[in-house]
Structure 1
Amino acid sequence: MGQSSSYDEQTIRHQFDRKCKLALKGEKIDYDRHLSYRREHEVLFCELPEADFGKISMTDEYDVENYSLIDIQFDVKIKDELLAKAIETLTDRKKEVIFLAYFQGMSDAAIARKLNLVRSTVCEHRIRSLELLKNTMEEYRYGNNR
């Protein structure tokens, strides 16, 4: 009888070993499939061409770097401090024309309709505003460098 007991233990040990080996073999197959899937569907950064980096890259922008110009109708963030200061010096009407023309992309005719003005008046406001912005920015730039 002692022999059958050791035979049963040995049989159980062999069965256990076989089940462990099958489980490990199944895990290896799953892992190989996973690696194969990743090779087919993922690309390493070092293998990407230079042109594709622009598509996947992103630059963080923080409010500390931007200057906000908040008006009744507009909330515009400007990165250039000099330009933000210069726009602040404009009258409300000229500021509105500049915002509509350059930040909203509207034409002089569309701005004229929106503000109930003549198109030539809008054009004149825009041109004078640009001249004022240029002069103000030059004053700030050369005034601060002395």
Structure 2
Amino acid sequence: MKQPSSLDEETVRHQFDRKCKLALKGELVDYTRHIDYLSKHEVILSELSERELESLSVIDEYDSEYFDFQALGYDIRLKDMLLAEALNALTERKRDVIMLSYFQGLSDADIARKLNLDRSTVNEHRKRSLELLKQMMEERSNDNENKKKK
């Protein structure tokens, strides 16, 4: 038979073990609740769509990155240097026709009225301008590629 003092120590030890187990179960419940909360309210960045990621970022833009043009009172800004250089190489009338047509969305008839030209003349200017732009941009991009290779 055990002595009364050792019986009390064993009882105390069992009570302590029980309290520790209850505390650990409580911590597990708290941790599980916390993880559930995080899964409902937080998203891993790698799981976001490209569109959602773009909405979270900001890209600084500076005036020096743009090329400003005017066509019959319309202010037009371009960011593409290659296109801006090609447009600068066109005559003013051809540049105006391209700008008004593609950047302001005006019809050939509207452009013709604003420039005091025939509609067919505007159409011809636009076609020729596009051919020139294509040719100039291809040449410049080929030149840039050749420079990079060297």
Q: When the two structures are superposed, what TM-score results if normalisation uses the length of structure 2? A: 0.57
Please report how far the alpha carbon of residue 84 of structure 1 lies from its aligned counterpart in structure 2 after TM superposition.
0.4
Gaps of 5+ in 2: 1-40
* Aligned residue pairs, count: 105
Q: Structure 2 counterpart of 1:143, which letter?
A: D
What is the aligned-residue identity percentage?
Answer: 52
- Could you give the per-residue CA deviations for residues 73-101 of structure 1, whole angstroms, max 9, x where no partner exists? 23321111000000000001101101110
CA 1:72/1:113 → structure 2, altered by over 3 Å: closer, same or farther? closer
Which residue of structure 2 lines up, in the alignment, with residue 111 of structure 1? Answer: 111
Q: Structure 2 counterpart of 1:112, which letter?
A: A
Matched ranges for 1:61-100 at <5 A: 61-70=61-70, 73-100=73-100
Which residue of structure 2 lines up, in the alignment, with residue 134 of structure 1? Answer: 134
**In 2, Cα distance between the equivalents of 1:52 and 1:124?**
44
What secondary structure is seen at the aligned counterpart in 2 of 1:60? coil
Q: When the two structures are superposed, what TM-score results if normalisation uses the length of structure 1? A: 0.58
CA 1:72/1:108 → structure 2, altered by over 3 Å: closer, same or farther? closer
- Could you give the per-residue CA deviations for residues 17-57 of structure 1, whole angstroms, max 9, x where no partner exists? xxxxxxxxxxxxxxxxxxxxxxxxxx8787xx756666676
